[in-house]
Amino acid sequence: NRIIFATGNEGKMREIREILKDLGMEVCSMKEAGICLDIEENGTTFGENAEIKAMSVWKKSGGIVLADDSGLVVDCLGGEPGIYSARYMGEETSYEIKNQTILNRAALFEGEDRSARFVCNIAAILPDGRVLHTEAAMEGLVADKPAGGEGFGYDPILYIPEFHMTAAELTMDQKNRISHRGKALEAMKDKLKEQLGE
Ligand code: ITT
């Protein structure tokens, strides 16, 4: 029994492998499954995009396919970059520049709401084509400056008050316990066990 995870993002995949390791199923990336697809994520929500990715791969592979659509939502920027997190300023732009740009834009709103969060929607397609979703968030604040070298993407600029650290200063285990992805995948593990009758 195996799960194909429809992602090309290695930062996500590292966390996903760790979170799913006790599920008792082999977890392989799209690449490891020999599937190479350029998927157009033209949905308008995290849920729609997660399902588009999972379904595109499932049509090629069958079996159980999961996908993760996630992003950083900054309230004072009207929810940006949100579902455009990967595409924000173009896929080629470094996260050093993307992160500094978000901090600069948020600084214009100084004194106002610094609240922000990572959101993750997980979609699963079961062997019979049934679709499941789970979604979770990790609440934080836009950091004053980037900090930390763990994780990936926007982790250095999301400050997590309960840890007094950014998401990039947490170990992977600490992050997985509280993260959007950790919580959404734990909920998906429960749904899969229930639906697959184990
Ligand atoms: P796949 O679609 O192949 O999975 P992707 O990176 O394009 O990879 P998304 O469209 O879901 O994935 O975009 C998610 C982006 O949101 C990701 O590239 C990061 O910039 C950001 N992001 C999501 N989760 C994050 C996390 O835990 N830490 C830091 N940044 C995160």
Q: Does the Cβ of 101 fall within 6 Å of ligand 1?
A: no
The ipTM estimated for the assembled molecules is 0.99
CA of 184 to the centre of ligand 1 (A): 14
Tokens encoding 5: 């995870």
Residue 197 confidence (pLDDT) above 90: no
CA of 88 to the centre of ligand 1 (A): 11
Tens digits of residue pLDDT in 63-96: 999 999 999 999 999 999 999 999 999 999 999 9
Q: Does the Cβ of 159 fall within 6 Å of ligand 1?
A: no
pLDDT band, residue 198 (cuts 50/70/90) = low
Which of 85, 98, 119 should be mutated for ligand 1, with most atoms under 8 A from CB?
85
Taking alpha carbons only, the member of 145, 159, 163 closest to residue 96 is 145
Tens digits of residue pLDDT in 165-192: 999 999 999 999 999 999 999 999 999 9
State residue 49's pLDDT score: 98
Q: Does the Cβ of 7 fall within 6 Å of ligand 1?
A: yes
Tens digits of residue pLDDT in 115-142: 999 999 999 999 999 999 999 999 999 9
CA of 197 to the centre of ligand 1 (A): 31
Indicate the domain borders of the chain.
2-195
**Residues with a known catalytic role:** 69
Assigned fold of 2-195: Maf protein (3.90.950)
Helices (H), 62-179: 95-107, 172-178
Q: What is the DSSP letter of 76?
A: G
What's the average model confidence in pLDDT over 149-172?
98
pLDDT band, residue 25 (cuts 50/70/90) = very high
Q: Does the Cβ of 80 fall within 6 Å of ligand 1?
A: no
What's the average model confidence in pLDDT over 32-60?
96
The owner of tokens 């763990």 is: 150
Q: Cα–Cα distance between 61 and 127 in angstroms, integer? A: 10
Tokens encoding 40: 């157009």
Ligand 1 atom at minimum distance from 69 CA: 11
- Average predicted confidence (pLDDT) for the chain: 96
Q: Does the Cβ of 182 fall within 6 Å of ligand 1?
A: no
Tens digits of residue pLDDT in 12-21: 999 999 999 9
- Protein residue closest via CA to atom 2 of ligand 1: 7
